[in-house]
Amino acid sequence: MTLFYRRMPKFDYVRPGSVAEALAALSPDAPVRNQVFSGGTDLIPKLKSRAIKAPPRVIDLKGIAGLAYIDFKPGEGLRLGANTTIREVAQSSSVLTHYPALATGAGLIASNQLQHRGTIVGNICNAVPSADSAPPLLAHDAQVVCVSADGERIVSIADFFVAPGVTALAAGEIVKEIRLPPPPSGERSVYLKLASRGRMDLAVVGVAVTVVVGNGVFQQVRIGLGSAAPIPVRATQAEMALKGQRVSAELIAQAAAIAAANTRTRSSHRASAEYRREMIEVLVRRTLTQATQTPPSQS
């Protein structure tokens, strides 16, 4: 049983004022996971309940000035700093206008209180399959900017999730920002989340799509699946079945079946692998149908 009234375990608390100070405080040999936090909405309950062993030193990134920003430039795209809160992303006019699936995904994470504290970067670094920001970030083809004492490197969001609870971050490396490319002209995007108890519950399955339709044909399609497989994934076979083909209800239904058949679905206490496969088909069909019928975002 989880006992939330337990005291925090003992660790050294460090609150650096810059990224360089944070990197210097990291233990170079251990994984970065759980050594740093931003909102703390994942890390602090785990430390309190002893779900994880406390590291000797915990580094609070929230005090680093200049890491909370949402910066959109036409032709360059969107940059989200590591301390940008979920709420800021959900309500940002730039995100709502140019990356609607991401705004929807952020707005469906937990409660208002949690959204004001937690961050999108914390959501992906936690690396659970049900992270609601992951399918939209996959569909929007995001990149993760990782920084270490050796400099910066960019990891595609599709390569960032390695295994449940494991990311592509190396020892001594933290995430500095997430970048989204400028949306192509006429792009439409949708995120749908299936959860038993609505917003306060984790997704059974979440699906995000981005599509560009020209002359009645799918010019570009990306499909991100959350909570479906052990890590958030793209439904690449379904994307290939759609690209270059004329938009129709039959084609969308075929692609949805391909997405379901080609996903290595997981079982959990929320749903069986079989149920998840059924729901992937339903949600991929619905997101694609909705995306092909809604007006494009302004780019």
Ligand X SMILES: Cc1cc2nc3c(=O)[nH]c(=O)nc-3n(C[C@H](O)[C@H](O)[C@H](O)COP(=O)(O)OP(=O)(O)OC[C@H]3O[C@@H](n4cnc5c(N)ncnc54)[C@H](O)[C@@H]3O)c2cc1C
Up-side HSE of residue 149: CA atoms within 13 Å toward CB? 10
- C-beta of 284: minimal distance to ligand X in Å? 19
- C-beta of 245: minimal distance to ligand X in Å? 32
Q: Read off the DSSP letter of residue 85.
A: B
Site for ligand X in 120-159 (CB under 6 A): 121-123, 125-126, 130-132
Site for ligand X in 158-217 (CB under 6 A): 169, 174-175, 202
Name the residue nearer to ligand X (CB basis): 51 or 295.
Answer: 51
The neighbour count for residue 287, using CB atoms within 10 Å, is 27
Name the residue nearer to ligand X (CB basis): 100 or 135.
Answer: 135
If binding is defined by CB under 6 A, does position 107 make contact with ligand X? no
If binding is defined by CB under 6 A, does position 103 make contact with ligand X? no
**Size of residue set near ligand X by CB under 6 A:** 32
What is the rounded CA–CA span in Å between residue 176 and residue 36? 12
229-252 CB burial, b ≥16 within 10 A, e <16: bebbbbbeebbebbbebebeeeeb
* Segment near ligand X (CB under 6 A); pick from 11-19, 34-42, 89-97, 269-277: 34-42
If binding is defined by CB under 6 A, does position 106 make contact with ligand X? no
- C-beta of 62: minimal distance to ligand X in Å? 8
| 96 contacts: CB under 8 Å, gap ≥ 6 | 103
Selected binder of ligand X within 14, 64, 82, 223 (CB under 6 A): 82
What is the rounded CA–CA span in Å between residue 91 and residue 134? 18
Q: Read off the DSSP letter of residue 119.
A: B
Would you call 74 exposed, middle or buried from its count of C-beta atoms within 10 A (0-12, 13-18, 19+)? Answer: exposed
Name the residue nearer to ligand X (CB basis): 125 or 204.
Answer: 125
* Segment near ligand X (CB under 6 A); pick from 6-14, 33-41, 228-236, 253-261: 33-41
Name the residue nearer to ligand X (CB basis): 194 or 213.
Answer: 194
For 16, 24, 69, 208, 254, the CA distances from 232, given in Å and listed in that order, are 31, 31, 25, 11, 22
Give the torsion sign (CA, 180, 161, 53, 8): positive
If binding is defined by CB under 6 A, does position 227 make contact with ligand X? no
Name the residue nearer to ligand X (CB basis): 138 or 241.
Answer: 138
Q: Which helix (H) or strand (E) segment is 207 a member of?
A: strand 205-214
Name the residue nearer to ligand X (CB basis): 68 or 282.
Answer: 68
If binding is defined by CB under 6 A, does position 39 make contact with ligand X? yes
Q: Residues 238-277 vs ligand X: string with x where CB under 6 A?
A: ----------------------------------------
Q: Which helix (H) or strand (E) segment is 206 a member of?
A: strand 205-214
Q: Read off the DSSP letter of residue 231.
A: S
What is the rounded CA–CA span in Å between residue 62 and residue 83? 6
**Chain centroid to CA 173: how far?**
19
If binding is defined by CB under 6 A, does position 80 make contact with ligand X? no
Q: Which residues bind ligand X (CB under 6 A)?
A: 32-34, 36-43, 45, 61, 82, 86, 109-110, 114, 118-119, 121-123, 125-126, 130-132, 169, 174-175, 202
